[in-house]
Amino acid sequence: MNVKQQKLVRIICAIIALILVASLLIGLVACDKKKDPASDADNRATKTDAGEETPAPAGDKIVNIGVTNVIGSLNPLLLDATEVNKYAISLMFLPLVDLDSNLEFVPQIASEITTEDNLTFTIKVNPEVKWSDGEQVDADDVIFTLLKLTSTGIGNVSMGLYSIFDGWNESGYLPDDATLESVPGLNKIDDMTLTLTSTTPMPLTSFLNTYARYMHVIPEHKLNQLSIEELKTTDWFNHPEVVSGAYKCYEANMEHFASYEANPNYYLGAPKIDKLNIKVVQGNQLLPGLKTGEIDFIQPTMASIPDADHEAIAALDNVQPVYAPPVTNQLLFINTKSVPDARARRAINKAINRQQILDGFLNGNGEIIDGFITSYSPYFDEGVTPLSFAPDEAKSLLEEAGWTQDRPLEFKINSGDPTFVKAANVVVEQLRDVGIEAKITTLDIGSLLEAAGSHDFDLLAVQYTMVPVDPYPDINWLVTGTPEFQNWVQYSSETMNGYLDAVRATADGDTAALTKAYSDIDKLVQEDVPVVSLYVISPLGAVSKRLSKAVPSPYGFLLNVHEWDIE
């Protein structure tokens, strides 16, 4: 990597670590404790003070989506890294593009995004998309959104990714008073076209996935009089006057619910469902909610259904269970300063019976891989055979490495992941069987990610979901290390950096070359073992049989939300 690329990697790595912490903590801030309308008039039946059920308003078609993560915010300028946050915003404010279940990018606000040199990206706004008050969505709206989204005063922690664009500072921010004329990398071509120019080449796929999917356009004509501070703190987005999406929120409590009503002027057609609620519940409430009909839909990556409830959900007459493709990786990070010999790290991999854990704790709903690329990705290479469970080989590797311990390895895990809390105890026993002592420490997710960022662990496990069509940004920050910057596991390898450069240099659409480059990365991870993929989860979603056209999917499940209907 050249100096500019190394600097960019350090910025991206630091920012993404902050995103992971902030996005999972932001929803924990105390919110207005309003009554959840999704459990009152917006439910199909509610109870009066006397305990008698009363029906929902006549004629209303109502759908409840169950999630197990708090919403965070409905302000697109404060968009974080959580799926719930993104999709709750997408209902009202469309992104430039989105990704569908076939891993293809689908136009939303942008009808087309192109590049001829992987530096300048031309964004054409879809002339069919209108704001709900009839105003045209145009290039000025996109420019206004971009200037405010990346402003220093908004301070969105994920903006470090914008540092590669011409005119943005090394932290990815613009001054609060930035204008179109003051930013050299941002240009308006005409009323419906703009360009954004990077100082470092990137594939079109990375631009679409990293930037276009997460730029939810807001209406300049309604918000241009607000200051940066007002844009950051306003509750306008909780009940906006105009939207571009299929629904408009009318009441919300970020810890508990967001309630939406249909936008009759949606450019793809008025939604058939009159009201839609996102309901934040505990995982153990999902099964009862599906059974009683209080929950109609569960998207696989926005709600964690306890493994113990899978069979019961499959047995429900009123529900269709849907297992998503393997997408979420349960990664075991190994601090390479604590375990500096790659042979000892390979021994850790070989000591763990990963298939037994997958079968025993997830009923086999997933797969075992080494590295990062799952079978859901177009770049999956079947030739990367996972290391097998081989405790005797693990003992030999430890002997070769001269393994000794003066204390147990500190193994930090997420207290909010009950399935892995149980699985971790099996991992510890299997490590002990080959001569490695480890001690489990359970932490809430925020504390766990803080420990990861400060390298305060020997072993650390956390679930990680990479976008299968563009895994490069995540892999890059997980395994790129330099003397100036250390990733979570404090791993660095010039060979690995070369493989990552090969990914970056590959032409768009060259699937064979990308498969080869990612295969090289996975094989090196298998050899050096900075991380172990314990298993990849095929998460469970569910949908009420009374709903039509609604399909749980890791990506793009809301693209046809206007077509959802109640049979």
For the chain, which domains are there? Answer: 3-55+75-241 (3.90.76.10), 56-74+245-323+541-567 (3.40.190.10), 328-537 (3.10.105.10)
Q: Which of 541, 547, 63, 545 is nearest to 316 (CA)?
A: 545
Q: Residue 17 above 60 pLDDT?
A: no
267-318 per-position pLDDT tens digit: 999 999 999 999 999 999 999 999 999 999 999 988 889 888 999 999 999 9
Give the per-residue pLDDT at 161: 84
pLDDT grade for 80, boundaries at 50, 70 and 90: confident
Place of tokens 């939810």: 216
Asked whether the CA dihedral 463, 540, 258, 250 is positive or negative, the reply is: positive
Q: Residue 20 above 60 pLDDT?
A: no
353-397 per-position pLDDT tens digit: 999 999 999 989 999 999 999 999 999 999 999 999 999 999 999
Helix and strand totals (H; E) in the chain: 16, 23
DSSP-assigned states of every residue in 279-331: EE--GGGHHHHHHHTS--EE-TTT----GGGHHHHHT-TTEEEEEPPS-EEEE
CA distance 272 to 45: 20
Take residue 464 and report the two structure tokens written for it.
Answer: 């990680």
Q: Which of 12, 101, 16, 79 is nearest to 469 (CA)?
A: 101
CA distance 257 to 280: 6
Query: pLDDT > 90: what percent of the chain?
Result: 77
Average pLDDT, rounded, for the chain: 89
Give the per-residue pLDDT at 559: 97
Q: Which of 90, 65, 46 is nearest to 544 (CA)?
A: 65
Say if residues 295 and 279 touch (Cβ distance below 8 Å): yes
Say whether 62 sits in a helix, a strand or coil.
strand
Say whether 232 sits in a helix, a strand or coil.
helix
Say if residues 288 and 270 touch (Cβ distance below 8 Å): no
Least confident stretch, 56-70, 174-188, 434-448: 56-70
Q: Residue 8 above 60 pLDDT?
A: no
Give backbone dihedrals phi and psi of 77, rounded to 5 degrees, phi first: -75, -15
DSSP-assigned states of every residue in 419-442: HHHHHHHHHHHHHHHHT--EEEEE
CA 223 to mean position of chain CA atoms: 28
pLDDT grade for 44, boundaries at 50, 70 and 90: very low
134-190 per-position pLDDT tens digit: 999 999 999 999 999 999 999 998 887 899 999 999 999 999 999 999 999 999 999
CA distance 223 to 436: 59
Q: Residue 234 above 80 pLDDT?
A: yes
Q: Residue 526 carries which side chain, given as an amino acid letter?
A: Q
517-528 per-position pLDDT tens digit: 999 999 999 999
Helix 418-434 and helix 342-351: axis angle, to 10°? 120
Give backbone dihedrals phi and psi of 482, rounded to 5 degrees, phi first: -135, 165
Helix 3-25 and helix 472-479: axis angle, to 10°? 100
Say if residue 308 is exposed, middle or buried (CB neighbours under 10 Å; 0-12, 13-18, 19+): middle
Say if residues 362 and 307 touch (Cβ distance below 8 Å): yes
Take residue 557 and report the two structure tokens written for it.
Answer: 């499940």
Asked whether the CA dihedral 115, 118, 120, 123 is positive or negative, the reply is: positive
CA 221 to mean position of chain CA atoms: 30
Alpha helix locations (H) across 45-118?
A: 83-90
Give the per-residue pLDDT at 484: 64
H/E stretch holding 55 reads strand 53-55
Say if residues 274 and 262 touch (Cβ distance below 8 Å): yes
pLDDT grade for 406, boundaries at 50, 70 and 90: very high
